Amino acid sequence: MASVWIARWPRKSGGQSYRVMFRVCGRESMPRYGGAFPTMREAKIRRDWIAGELAGRRVPATGPLVESHAAPTLEQAYEAWRSSRVDVAEATATYQRSAIRRAAPLLGRRVDAISPKDVAALVGELVAMGKARETVRKTVTVLAMVLDHAGVTPNPARDRVHVRLPRENRAEIQPPSAEH
């Protein structure tokens, strides 16, 4: 039968800590380490969690947490994306570079922290700066490609609920008269 207990453990500094120990099977199995805590309260919380896991017939994973790799910043993701694009003409690479330069001051953070509202705010800032609709569209399109390459799902630049492009007021074309 599985069991969980708390053991007081002396510290070198003279105080004590509380170690949580448990067995997955009966008394024949080796005791496992569940963590050491400075207070009894924290040790009891861990003990209760381990007891719940054992009651659910799961072996508690009390090892060190694996640190997730930090997502790259927008500039780093752009550089990785740009270096992978060997099929792009020089003129295309130039407009893509300028599009990211427009977006980077406003979205200069990790790519997984960019939300659709941030991209919508970017569109609003570009419109306030007097940028044309197609310039804004190209900026959002390049941003979407960079975020796709970085593996951001769902891609905030492709969210059509929050990210809207400005209206374009096109001049009506006047056809020539019958005389001409």
* Whether residue 78 is found in the same domain as residue 152: yes
Q: Is 151 left (phi over 0), alpha (psi -120 to 50) or beta?
A: left
Q: Give, as one character, the DSSP assignment of residue 73.
A: B
* Whether residue 79 is found in the same domain as residue 142: yes
* Whether residue 81 is found in the same domain as residue 147: yes
Q: Is 136 left (phi over 0), alpha (psi -120 to 50) or beta?
A: alpha
* Whether residue 43 is found in the same domain as residue 81: no
Q: Which residue has the tokens 């054992």?
A: 54
CATH code, 124: 1.10.150.130
* Whether residue 85 is found in the same domain as residue 131: yes
Residue 70, pLDDT score: 80
- pTM of the shown model: 0.59
139 within some domain: yes
175 within some domain: no
* Whether residue 88 is found in the same domain as residue 149: yes
| Domain span including residue 102 | 74-158
Give the pLDDT means over successive 10-residue stretches in the chain (180 positions): 92 92 89 93 95 91 70 91 91 92 88 93 94 93 94 91 85 85
Q: How many domains does the chain have?
A: 2
